[in-house]
A and B are shown apart, each in its own frame.
Chain A
Amino acid sequence: MAEAHDRPPEKFNIRLRRYDPESGQAPYWDEHTVELEPHRSVLEAVLQARDRFDGSIGIRCSCRQAICGSCGVRVNGEPALACHTHLDAALASSGDGIIEIEPMGNMPVIKDLIVDMDAVHWKKIQRVTPWLLAKEPVPEREYVVPKESMVDVTQTMACIQCGACVSDCLAMEVDPGFIGPAALAKAYRFVGDPRDAEQFERLNDLAQDPQGIFDCTHCFKCVEACPKDVNPMGQIMRLRRIAASDQHIVDQNNGVRHEKAITGLIRGYGLLHEAELIPRSYGGNSWFAKFTPPAGKELLSSLPVILRGLLRGKFNPRIAIFGHKIPPADLKSVQAIYDKVESREERYELNLYITGTDEDNAPVPAEPEQAAVGASTEGSDS
C-alpha cells in the first residue's frame, strides 16, 4: 500500500458556500473543522460536517467512488467530484489553508451545493438526439462491428453526466446556448458507433448549428475538469474531423473553412499569418480570397475589433500584414510534420482505452516495494 494511506487523521478546515432559498437571504460562507485521514475525500469531509454539526447541508451524493456522478462541485474554484478529490490535494490547492467548496458554475443553484442540472445539462443532452438510430435491418444476433470501434466509444460511454465540464466551459459562459462539452461528447458516442445509421445527419446538424461543434474555443477546461478522462474537447475535435474529412460537410459557420485556412497558412508560413486568416476563412483558401464579397464583408464587420486591437498594441501591424518570417530550415521542419501526418493512410486517434495515458506507459520502476508477497510484476510486460 502507498505510504500516504498510513497517515493518521488530521484536522481540515472546510468553507462551504451555503444558500437557503427559503430564507430570502443571500448565499453565505459556512466553516467547519473535520477530522479525517489526508487521503480521504472532500465528500467525506462534507458528510462528516453534515453528520456531526449541521444536517441541513445540502449535497447530492451516493456511490462515493466516482461512478454515479452526483457530487459535482467546485473545490477551490475548480470543478471536481467531491468524492474524487483527496483532502491533502485540496488543501494544497487552497488559497488560505481552508478548503473552499461551492456549487458548480453555469447552472442555477437550488440549495447549498445542489444545482439545477435539468435546466442546463440535461436540456443540452436532449439536444443531440441522445439515442441510437440503429441501422436496418436489425440483425437476428448482435451487430458485427470492429472491436476497436466499441472500445473507442467506451471512452465517451464512461461519461457519468456529473456536469463538471459544463460547470467550467468558457464558451458556454459567453454563449449559454452552446451545446457544450458533455452533450457533444455524448454525440460522439453515436457518431463513433458503427451501428448508428445517421452519422451524416447528426454531424451536419451539429456542424450547421452556430452553437454546435464550431462554437468550442479549444480552451481545454473541460479536459481538465473531467474526472473520468472522457476528454470532451477531444471528442468535439473528432466530430469536426469526421464532419469535414470523412463526410465532406462544409458548414455555414465557416468552421471548416476557418480550420483549413489556419492549417494552410501555418504550412505556408510556419506561423499563423493573421491578416490572411479572415479572408481565407470566408473567401476560400487562397491569396485571392480577400477580393471575394464574403471576405470583404467579414473584413468590414471585423474592422472595429481590428482597430481596437491595434490601438491597444495587441499585434504588430507589419508582421500581421506581411506575415511571420522564420528561417527556411525551421519552415521545412514544420512542413515535414504536415507531410508525415498526411502520408498516413488512417487518422491516428488517441483514445485512453486503447492507448492508455503517458502515465500508464511510463517504464516500470526497477524494484517496486512489496511486502512479504512473492508476486512479481513480470506479467505486466508480457
Chain B
Amino acid sequence: MPEHDVLIIGAGLAGQRAALAAAERGASVAIMSKVHPVRSHSVAAAGGINAAISVDDDWRSHAYDTVKGSDYLGDQDAIEVMCSEAPGEVLHLEHIGVTFHRNEQGLMDLRAFGGASMKRTAYVADITGQALLHVLYEQLMKHHETVARYEEWFTTSLLLGEDGSCCGVIARDVRSGKMEAFTAKNVILACGGSGQAYKPTTNGLIVTGDGIAMAYRAGAPLMDMEMVQYHPTCLVETGILITEGARGEGAHLLNNKGERFMEKTAPNKMELASRDVVSRAEQIEINEGRGVGPEGKGIYLDVTVVEKKRTLEALREIVNLGRDFAGVDITREPIMIRPGQHYIMGGVKTDVDGRTPIEGLYAAGEVACVSVHGGNRLGANSLLDTLIFGRRSGEHAAARAASMAPPKLDVQAQLARDEAELAAIIARPRDGRRVSEIKNELGETMNKHAAVFRDEEGLQGALQTIGRLREEAGKAWIDDRGTIFNQDVLGALELGYMIDCAEATLVGAIERKESRGAQFRTDYPERNDEQWLKHIDITLGADGPQVSYSPVTITQWQPEERKY
C-alpha cells in the first residue's frame, strides 16, 4: 500500500504547484490525477495571470480591484495574501521557464483585463494556462525522484481516520481497473470545479466536481456555491471560450444595431467591466431583442479593431478557434458570442493555508473557496489563485507532515466498499436511464434556472428536478463491463459528484435572497449588505444539505456601490 506525507488529488496548476512546494520542503509527495497532468483543464486558461509587478503598480490596488470585483463577498485577509504574494510567484514562474511575453525593453509585458484599474496581466500569447501547466509539468519531470506521479488514477473516496481526520484515498487505476488504498498524512484536493454540471460550459468533460463532492461527503462545508460565473464571450453553439484577452487588447461588443451597449452599464470601463456585469448586459440585449444571429441569441465580439499584427502574435489561439470552431476569420469580421458557464467561485471552505475544517484535508484552486473571488472572480485571478494557494497548501501540509506519525487505520473495509460500489454499477440491469441522458438533463436544467438571471420559482423547480435525477442516477445503467479503461463506470461516479455540486448551488442560490456578484435574483434585484454580506456554508446532514452562515472578513475596504 503506497504511503506518502502529502498526497495531492488533481494535477492542474494548483496540484502541480502544491506538489513542487511540498517536495521542496522535504516531504514525500505523490500527485494523482484521473487524466495525464497536461490534460488538466488549467490548460484552457487563455488570457493571463494578474500580479502587481509593474513599478507603478501596488498590490493594494490589485487587492482593491479584487474586493470590488467580488462584490465585497471576498474575504479581504485572503485577498491581501493572494495579491501581495502575486509578484513573487509570477517571477518564480518566469525563472523556472514560463515564456512570458516581453515588451520592447525585454521586460514582462502586461495587458489590460476586466475589472482591473491598470494593466497588470502577464501573459503568454493567449495560451497562458497551457504555458504555465506545461512548464510546471517540466518541473515535475525534473523532480521525478521526489514527486511520485499516479497518472490516470481516479479517486473514488477520501479515507477518514477514527478521529475524523483525512488519512488518504481510495483510487482506481484507470488503465488496469485495479483499486488501491493510498494512505497519507495529508491530502490536498486540487481537482477543479464542477462546470460539467452545466450544459453548455466552457469547462472540459473532466471537470465534474469530484473533489468538491468527495469533501462534502466526508463532512467538509462548501461555501458560496451559488456563485457561478458566466463568461461574457463564449461561442454561441459550443460554448467554447474566447479569451477576455480579446477585450483586453481592445475588442468591442456590439448589439444588432452596431452599438457598443456597454456604454449604458459601464461608461468608464466599457467592455472591461467585471464579468458578471458584462454577462448581464449581454443577456439583457439578447432578452430585449437586440441580439445578433438568426435567432438573436448572440452578441458580436469585434476583434477587427485590434491591429492585425498584434492579434496574430498575442491572440493567435482565438484566431484558430474562430476559424476552426465558428468558421469566422476574427481579423476580418466580428464573431458571435454569448455568456456561458465558466467558473464556480464557491467550493470547499478553506483558510489561507488551504486547510479545510477536516484535519489533514486541504483544498486549493477552483475546488476550494478561500474566498478570494467572493461573488465574482476577476479575469486572470484564477491562475493566480491556483498557484498561490496551491503552493501555500503544499508548504503547510509538508510542515504538518514533518511533525506527525504516519496514520494507522484499517483501509480494507472502505476499499472493499468502493470496489463493491463499482461492481454494482457495472452489474446494473438495463432498465433505467442512461448516465448520458441524466447528465444532459442536469446540465440543461442548471443552465436554464441557475444562470445569469435567477428567481425563486425556477430555482425551486430545478431543485426538484435534481432530486429526481439523483434517484435516477442511483439506478442508471452503463454498457462497459470491462476493467481496463472502463470510462463508462467512472462516468456514473462523476454524475453523482455533479449532482451533489448542482444541488449545493441551487440550495445556496435559493437561500441568498439578494443580488450580488454572479447571483442576480430577478425577485430580489438589489444587493442587501445588511442581511446578506455573509457567506453561505452548506454541509451534508442526515437529510441532505444544511445551511449555515459565516462572516465575511473585512480589513480595509468597506462595501460601496459598484460602478465600472
Chain A positions near chain B (C-beta within 8 angstroms):
1-2, 4-6, 20-22, 39, 50-52, 54-56, 58, 60-70, 84, 86, 110-112, 114, 117-118, 125-126, 130-132, 134, 138-139, 141-147, 149-151, 153-154, 157-158, 160-161, 189, 193, 195, 228-229, 352-354, 356, 360, 364-365, 368-382
Contacts and interface: CB of A to CB of B under 8 A. Distances in A.
Contacts of B241: 65
Given A131-B139, A147-B103, A377-B304, A55 B91 contact: no
B447 interface: no
Contacts of A375: 252, 254, 258, 300, 302, 304-305, 334
Contact of B127 (A141, A143, A158): A158
B305 A379 contact: yes
A116 B482 CA distance: 18
Interface in B23-47: 35-36, 38-41, 43-44
Interface stretch (B323-331, B377-385, B454-462): B323-331
A56 B307 CA distance: 48
25 contacts: A1-B336, A22-B483, A51-B434, A55-B435, A56-B480, A56-B488, A63-B43, A86-B324, A112-B485, A134-B96, A138-B95, A142-B107, A145-B102, A147-B109, A150-B100, A153-B99, A158-B130, A161-B134, A193-B97, A193-B99, A353-B125, A373-B302, A375-B254, A379-B307, A381-B308
A132 B138 contact: yes
A20 B484 CA distance: 8
B313 interface: yes
A360 B320 CA distance: 11
B522 to A, nearest CB: 29
A373 B300 contact: yes
B127 A157 contact: yes
Nearest to B143: A131
A110 B175 contact: yes
User: Number of contact residues on B: which range applies?
Assistant: 35 or more
A110 B485 contact: yes
A311 B10 CA distance: 61
B204 A64 contact: yes
Contacts of A2: 326-328
Contacts of A142: 91, 94-95, 100, 107-108
Contacts of B446: none
Interface of B: 35-36, 38-41, 43-44, 53, 91, 94-97, 99-109, 124-125, 127, 130-131, 134-135, 138-139, 141-142, 151, 175, 204-206, 237-238, 240-241, 252, 254, 256-258, 292-294, 300, 302, 304-308, 312-313, 316-317, 319-321, 324-328, 331-334, 336, 434-437, 478-488, 491
Given A150-B101, A376-B304, A143 B94 contact: yes
Contact of B256 (A56, A139, A161, A371): A371
A310 B256 CA distance: 71
Contacts of B488: 55-56
Contact of A380 (B44, B103, B124, B331): B331
Contacts of B481: 56
Nearest to A158: B127
Contact of A131 (B44, B97, B151): B97
Contacts of A382: 307
A353 to B, nearest CB: 5
A117 B36 contact: yes
A55 B482 contact: no
Contact of A70 (B35, B91, B142): B35
Contacts of B204: 62-64, 68
A126 B141 contact: yes
Contacts of A131: 96-97, 138-139, 141-142
Nearest to B235: A65
Contacts of B317: 67, 158
Given A56-B479, A147-B103, A379-B306, A68 B41 contact: yes
Contacts of B53: 141
A151 B142 CA distance: 25
